[in-house]
Structure 1
């Protein structure tokens, strides 16, 4: 077990203890109930640890059921933890109010009310977490909706006005995202009749032998000018060289710090792609390099578009002279409130933003990572339309 995973597990156990200490005394009046609730938290710890250690690749039979249970438990605990923290913040305000002069809560009736508030608020936390889990699982497991985005480009040639790029990102084929899930995505993309399809990394969470059957539907993707892909960090965790070969076998054009020129009438669009921002940690040949990706591109091209998995490639891409960057990686936070943690690592969380002189679109992702839960950050199949400003 890696040191990072061990640290995550220790922190997870401590957070389970925090939730138990904050909720169980308020919810239980008998020792038996307390023991039952603590037992549930211990079981949650155990299955989440199993899920952390088996969150990539394929699982079958009882192991698959246990993996599903572990990942659902992980998502539920995230929501329960968030609700518990919010409850404690509200109770902190209530507690401070009790120290005001002539505060009603310092009376006998107020003391009784405090007990009732502790009990009802703890019960409310559990109910809110359960309802949020149900909504989150629905959001994650449904086929991602199509989101339309227009990117205004100054002096865009008429031939490229209305050029459409369908972006997929962060599909994460793995323990809970399988062939049927991918088939639905591919059917939708094909129906959009895009000029170009761009896949901005993190397609898989597992090895080629384990997931080859489930990524096979990607071979059906079609677009007027082709289907292009760049690597994400999860490709490197799973074996990037093997997956690059598999993606090529499926008919996808993998851009590794390189570009292609797409001609529409007498005008040209340069489409480039870079390896993941962290790729150099897996080998010097995979260092992300937007400058190299543009090497030899025609100066007369009307537009330069970069596919880069992580938004933090943006400053280098802007300096290299790109007009648009399409990225993913963040999942938009996936489960509230983790969207507030994304800026600790990435410059942007989701949506269309300006990065220097360049436009950047950050997808919330087409699938999900880990828990099959999305709450506050819906998935998307993005249809990007280039328009004249």
Structure 2
């Protein structure tokens, strides 16, 4: 069985590498091969980049799992991950250009045909020159000798390639600015049938997927903390994927979390990335920073129960979600809000009578059209939806994984205001 699984893994990796090689070859052909002349410095530079950039991306992907020193990871991360995003949008822009290319060629051909036989104006009669007039040398033709104009094929290749480069790189640049600027605050009101009137208007700041790592560091954490504190929430729920790395490397980057302020405190549950980064150490570390980890546990607060379950990635370590443990022996008359990193556990939340589940994980797709891929494995990609008597809210997250770029899925911190139907 293990041999079969290993064989499938090898085939999958081979297929992905073959696809990446083909995509890089296509992008090189359209942006370099079709637009530059053989032996030109531009072609040499483009060819070098076509080899160097994918190697940097590969290095960025494997540096962390391979245990490379953190400074090396940081050096590789920026160019390596940004190139992956650029490759996506350059490819999409060039594919759109394939539809434009024949239309532009046809238009140029028609212009050339229309100008092939221009109507000539009648030549003026020669003016006789007196014999005594001094001889004047004919005036040289104005301007330097004209360079041969590029062929229509070369012109079209450069026009389409240039437009694709501007569109693709401009999209990546704007998406990067959106991440580095920090998350924006969203607000949503969620009515709960069992919420008492005394808890009407209770505000929970939901934060997920900060993804501290080689790219997003201490300054990003501070932006998130400042944005959360400005909302003056009653409670803060950090629902996983805080980090992409060890406490030794990222402990200083997480320190601003100690500044989170809420009347009923800040709570934390693990995400899948914590289990790639030493979940037990991070649980201890966030506790030292003043957050309250909910490891399949529950507390009573603000007129309702707040519960939290471990991420399903913890099952490999015997630390997966345990709904029975988190929700046992509670008063069924009280509303319960559940913190669970991945939306896919919503079915178990429904079975256990949860009123509201708060999740992240999806990033809202992060890079369009990634939202369509996220829909294949998540019941809800972003926003509020109802499943039976349970409501599920999924935040798009406050950071980014891999490329520090978001397109069509801006980062957010959500203030969920609970509403009592008795109010």
Pair in the same fold by TM > 0.5: yes
| Aligned counterpart, 2:408 | 376
Which of 90, 108, 112 is 1:80 aligned to?
90
| Aligned counterpart, 1:45 | 54
* Mapping for residues 306-325 of structure 1, pairs under 5 Å: 306-325=338-357
Aligned-pair CA distance for 1:215? 0.7
Q: Deviations over 1:193-236 (max 9, x none)?
A: 21110001000010011111111111121211111111001000
SS in 1 for 2:53: helix
Distance across 2 between alignment mates of 1:186 and 1:205: 18
Q: In the alignment, does 2:322 pair up with 1:283?
A: no
Aligned-pair CA distance for 1:364? 0.7
Q: Is the 8 A contact 2:350 2:387 kept in 1?
A: yes
| Aligned counterpart, 1:67 | 77
Q: Is the 8 A contact 2:396 2:412 kept in 1?
A: yes
5+ residue gaps, structure 1, are: none
Q: In the alignment, does 2:180 pair up with 1:136?
A: no
Which piece of structure 1 moves more, 323-332 or 57-66? 57-66
SS in 2 for 1:387: strand
Aligned-pair CA distance for 1:310? 0.7
Which of 288, 293, 298 is 1:249 aligned to?
288
* Mapping for residues 225-240 of structure 1, pairs under 5 Å: 225-240=264-279
Distance across 2 between alignment mates of 1:321 and 1:62: 48
Change (3 A) 1:50 1:62: closer
Number of residue-to-residue matches in the alignment: 373
| Aligned counterpart, 1:295 | 328
| Aligned counterpart, 1:14 | 22
Which piece of structure 1 moves more, 58-67 or 148-157? 58-67
Q: In the alignment, does 2:228 pair up with 1:189?
A: yes
Q: Deviations over 1:9-28 (max 9, x none)?
A: 55433321232234434423
Q: Is the 8 A contact 2:70 2:249 kept in 1?
A: no
Aligned-pair CA distance for 1:114? 7.3
| Aligned counterpart, 1:162 | 201
Please provide the CA RMSD for this pair.
2.9
Q: Is the 8 A contact 1:82 1:337 kept in 2?
A: no
Distance across 2 between alignment mates of 1:115 and 1:60: 45
Q: In the alignment, does 2:187 pair up with 1:148?
A: yes
Q: In the alignment, does 2:240 pair up with 1:207?
A: no
SS in 2 for 1:199: strand
| Aligned counterpart, 2:133 | none
Distance across 1 between alignment mates of 2:161 and 2:100: 11
5+ residue gaps, structure 2, are: 1-8, 114-150
